[in-house]
C-alpha cells in the first residue's frame, strides 16, 4: 500500500511542481513589468527591480499554491488515468477512498510546504525586498529595524515607531541638529497625520537645548514641515497580506490597543491561516474531477478546468474579503467561506464517484 502512495504521490508532486513553476514565472514577469514604472525614481535601477522580483518569489509561490496544486493534481492523476493505471488499480480492488487517501497524503506534504513558505520564507524575503526598494527610491530612508523607521530630512533625523495606512505615523522622535552637528531640539509626538497638504504632529513634547539650559514645551498639535511625502509612507508600509500570521497577530494587538480599525487585518490573519487548508481542498477537488467526468479527457480540458476553478477561487476570495470589510461581515466567515464552499462542492462530487 505504501508503494501505491508513493507512486500516485510522485505523479501529483511532479505535476504540481511544474504548474507552480509556470505560474510563478508568469507572476514574476507581470510583477517585473509593473515595477518598471518605478525604475528611475531616486537611485532605483533595473538591477534593483530584478533583485526585488527575485526576493518576492516565495510570496508569489505562496499565492499560487492552491491553483498550482489543483492543476498539478488534475494533470498528475489525469496522466495516470490516461495510461489506464487508475483503471488497473480500480480493477485490482483499490477503492476510490484508498486512492483519495494516497493523494491526500501528498496533499498534506504540500500543505506543510505552503505553511512554511507563507509563515517564514515569504515574509522574510518580502521584508528585505521592501527595505531595499525603499532605500533605492529615497536615500533619506534608513533601514527599518526593530526600533522603527529612520528618516533623514536635511539636518533632522526622524525615528518613526509605526507607519500606518492612511498617511499616519505613530510614536515619532525628531532630532534637529545645527550646522556643527550639535543637537538643538528634541521632539516627541504620539502621532502624525498628513492632511491639507501638510503633516500635523499630535500630543507633542519638545525640548530645546540653548546656552542657558533646556527649555521644555508641550503642544496638542503642531505643524511639521517634513519633505517625506505621503507616497513615500506608502512605500514603507508592508501590506497586511504579506506579513506572517504571527506578525499580523502582533500588529492586530497594537491596533486594538490604540483603538484603530482592525477589520482588514483580522481578515488578512484568518486568510493566512486558512490558505494552507485551501491547498488541501484544491487537491481534494481534483480527485472526483479525474475519477468522474474527466476520467477519459485529454490534458487540455483538465488544464482548462483547473485554471477556471483556480481563477474562480481567487475571485471569490477577493469578493468575500472586500465585502466582509465594507459590510462588516465577520472576518472569520469572509476568510473561510470560499474554501468551505469549494470543499462542499468537492464532497458532493466525491459522493457521485463509483
Q: What is the pLDDT of residues 216-247, one digit of tens each?
A: 999 999 998 877 666 666 555 557 767 788 88
Q: What is the pLDDT of residues 207-217, one digit of tens each?
A: 999 888 899 99
What pLDDT is stored for residue 8 in this prediction?
Answer: 93
**Burial bucket for residue 317 (CB in 10 Å: 0-12, 13-18, 19+):** buried
Query: For all residues of the chain together, what is the average pLDDT?
Result: 86
Q: Give the lowest-confidence range in 154-158, 178-182, 202-206, 297-301.
A: 297-301
Q: How many other CB atoms are there within 10 angstroms of residue 353's CB atom?
A: 18
Q: How many other CB atoms are there within 10 angstroms of residue 223's CB atom?
A: 10
Interacting residues of 90 by C-beta distance below 8 A, sequence separation 6+: 96
Share above pLDDT 70 across residues of the chain, in percent, rounded to a whole number: 89
What pLDDT is stored for residue 152 in this prediction?
Answer: 77
Query: Using only C-alpha atoms, what is the Rg of the chain?
Result: 26
What does the alpha-carbon distance between residue 32 and residue 52 come to, in Å, rounded to a whole number? 9
pLDDT band at 139 (very low <50, low <70, confident <90, very high): low
What pLDDT is stored for residue 146 in this prediction?
Answer: 53
Q: What is the pTM of this model?
A: 0.79
Q: How many other CB atoms are there within 10 angstroms of residue 346's CB atom?
A: 19
**299 or 291: which leads in pLDDT:** 291
Q: What is the pLDDT of residues 26-84, one digit of tens each?
A: 999 999 999 999 998 888 999 999 999 999 999 999 999 999 999 999 999 888 888 88
What pLDDT is stored for residue 230 in this prediction?
Answer: 65
pLDDT of 131 above 80: no
pLDDT of 294 above 80: no
State in Å, rounded, how far the first CA of the chain is from the last one.
21
Amino acid at each position: 500500500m505504501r508503494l501505491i502512495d508513493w507512486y500516485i504521490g510522485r505523479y501529483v508532486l511532479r505535476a504540481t511542481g511544474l504548474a507552480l513553476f509556470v505560474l510563478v514565472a508568469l507572476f514574476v514577469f507581470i510583477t517585473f513589468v509593473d515595477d518598471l514604472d518605478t525604475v528611475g525614481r531616486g537611485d532605483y535601477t533595473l538591477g534593483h527591480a530584478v533583485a526585488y522580483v527575485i526576493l518576492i518569489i516565495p510570496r508569489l509561490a505562496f499565492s499560487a499554491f492552491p491553483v498550482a496544486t489543483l492543476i498539478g493534481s488534475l494533470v498528475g492523476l489525469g496522466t495516470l488515468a490516461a495510461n489506464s493505471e487508475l483503471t488497473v488499480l480500480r480493477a485490482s480492488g483499490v477503492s476510490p477512498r484508498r486512492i483519495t487517501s494516497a493523494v491526500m497524503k501528498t496533499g498534506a506534504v504540500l500543505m506543510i510546504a505552503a505553511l512554511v513558505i507563507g509563515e517564514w520564507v515569504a515574509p522574510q524575503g518580502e521584508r528585505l525586498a521592501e527595505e531595499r526598494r525603499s532605500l533605492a527610491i529615497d536615500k533619506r530612508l534608513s533601514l527599518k529595524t526593530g526600533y522603527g523607521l529612520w528618516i533623514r530630512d536635511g539636518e533632522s533625523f526622524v525615528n518613526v515607531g509605526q507607519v500606518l495606512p492612511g498617511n499616519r505615523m505613530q510614536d515619532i522622535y525628531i532630532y534637529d541638529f545645527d550646522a556643527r552637528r550639535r543637537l538643538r531640539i528634541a521632539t516627541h509626538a504620539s502621532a502624525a497625520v498628513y492632511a491639507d497638504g501638510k503633516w500635523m504632529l499630535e500630543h507633542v513634547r519638545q525640548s530645546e537645548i540653548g546656552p542657558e539650559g533646556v527649555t521644555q514645551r508641550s503642544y496638542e498639535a503642531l505643524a511639521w514641515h517634513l519633505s517625506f511625502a505621503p507616497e513615500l509612507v506608502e512605500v514603507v508600509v508592508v501590506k497586511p497580506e504579506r506579513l506572517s500570521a504571527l506578525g499580523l497577530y502582533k500588529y492586530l494587538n497594537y491596533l486594538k490597543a490604540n483603538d484603530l480599525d482592525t477589520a482588514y487585518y483580522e481578515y488578512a490573519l484568518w486568510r493566512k491561516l486558512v490558505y494552507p487548508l485551501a491547498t488541501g481542498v484544491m487537491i481534494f477537488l481534483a480527485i472526483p474531477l479525474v475519477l468522474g467526468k474527466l476520467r477519459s479527457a485529454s490534458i487540455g480540458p483538465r488544464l482548462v478546468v483547473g485554471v477556471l476553478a483556480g481563477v474562480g477561487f481567487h475571485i471569490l476570495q477577493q469578493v468575500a474579503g472586500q465585502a466582509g470589510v465594507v459590510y462588516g461581515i465577520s472576518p472569520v466567515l469572509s476568510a473561510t467561506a470560499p474554501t468551505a464552499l469549494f470543499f462542499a462542492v468537492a464532497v458532493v462530487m466525491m459522493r457521485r464517484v463509483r
